[in-house]
Structure 1
Amino acid sequence: MGHPAGRFRRRFDLRRLAESMKDPWPFALHALRRGHLDVPLDHPTWGMALSSEAFLRRHDLLDATDTGWRVREARAEAVLAAQLGAPWREAPLHARALAGLLALRVLALTAPTAEAERLKRRALALLGTLARAAADHKAGDYLPPAVVFIQIQRETEPALRAEALAPLLAGHAYTATVLLRLLAEAREGGVLPPALFTWLKGVDRPLWYALNSLGRRMPFVEAAGAIAHYRAERAAGFARPAPASTPRWTGCGGRSSRSRPPIRNPTPRPHPTPSRPPASRRPEPCSFSPVVPRSPPCLSCPAPWPVSRRSG
């Protein structure tokens, strides 16, 4: 058979490896063909997830005062509400196509074994179709063309309208919260990572981070409003047309500007020793988080939900 060096001569970098694996695993190909290795980390669409501070700066949510900073709470509420997307009845094409794929996975949970396997395979095949369509669509910035969304929506619409899913969809009012619920239910039947639809970040960044936050202990700040509303709807057991998030600024000595003093900028105090201080003395990090009801019947009791600063 000879020495392996005489038979295995191909050298691979990330792009060549992805190209060679495009048939069984096409999901990363669009990013490499777009040139993500050279995309700056602060790119407005494809950049890393915003930290709380960067989120406040990008959306111009702070006002300078004589004693520090104050959050523009009305503006912050509008920004958080925008993360919910359109009402579900007015959901955009890409969201309905993705919802149909997830509906196939949800229906597989209660289908007979053979039918369940068919539904799961078809859902994965359609996800692959979207990924390949994005990778081949150079003229459209390597995003899936509308015609592919239309085809998938037409095929999966009967599943989305299935009687078994009606109570589930009726419990949520917005595009983001419906997709979150479908993804949560679909994962009951197995792993379904956002890596299978990374093209969504270029089409609908807030929805991408909402779905990417599902299952995390702390949601991304770019999805804080969507996650807050989703949790409130799950706790209440019905759809809530009014956004269910109230912004709260914490950390850096600051508090909500509605009933508490404005944010101050404290002078950092070095610790006398390099050892980590006790938790009770540790300075609270800056964060921007929504406040949502914990659970019924106390729907008026606010409870802060922390926000992740990690990238994604």
Structure 2
Amino acid sequence: MELRYVAAFVAVAEELHFGRAARRLQMAQPPLSQMIRQLEKELGVQLFERSTRSVRLTSAGESFLGPARQVLDDVDLAKRAVTSAGTGEYGRVTIGFGGASSHAALPRLARAVRAAHPGIELVMKVQQYANVALDGVADGSLDLGFVRMPVTRAGVRTRVIENDRLVCALPADHPLAGKEEIDLTDLIHDPFVSLPASSGSTLLDAMIRTCEEAGFTPKVVQEAPDSNTVLALVSAGVGVTLTLKSVEHVCQGGLVYLPMAGRTVWQQAALAWRADNPSAALRAVLAIAERELPTPAAES
């Protein structure tokens, strides 16, 4: 199968018009039609249904389109990788992210990378929790991860990009909602909503630890799969929770966010990558991140 046949197929499949596809490929229409017939003969299937008025993909053509595009993308990637080998100006960096730690930072980093290195492809992998991104970095399936500290994985390097703090989220009609700050001991008898105990979430760990330091174990009456749902349940009056200040913008209706009296609990967001990752593209992305997401001053 010749690569030019694959390119011809993709052009016709996207244009659904032989004339427009021929102009796009800067060739005459008869040779293009011949290439498609030769490709169909080679594959042993009909890729298009043709009439005098329209061109449509057959089911076989629809099945072939995705892999054909991937072939062309991979060839383009290989060509550009050869011409830019070792410079970090071209390549693919896979980034794992999840939770509030990346809501503002990831778009900022992605825009800066695209502006400085348009040849670097950022492949975004959504994770439900930040610790899952850390697992991906540790096992090599991700190049870079937005994670929560502390990180103790062997061979994984980190750099803090944000200091965030815990706040208490209450339903707007809670008896304590009008206060400027809240003493955690006032919530001893309140029901709590949390992320699943099985999630390994550092936010959940911080909530439990902070309540225990205040002298009680939070009574969790309902779990939810993500912070958005947790806050929606709090807004509905199911319970209260401790969350990060950075998520206040995510869910505001029916909620009040209050600082905790007498204590400030910090949670650090960080970037994580394997120390032995040889990718020049990753090094270029990390350099951009140093500028766009600098390490903040330590909080006391």
Q: TM-score range by the shorter chain?
A: under 0.3
Q: Which has the higher helix share?
A: 1
TM-score (structure 2 length as normaliser)? 0.23
Higher alpha-carbon Rg: 2
Give the TM-score taking structure 1 as reference length: 0.22
Task: Return the structure number with greater strand share.
Answer: 2
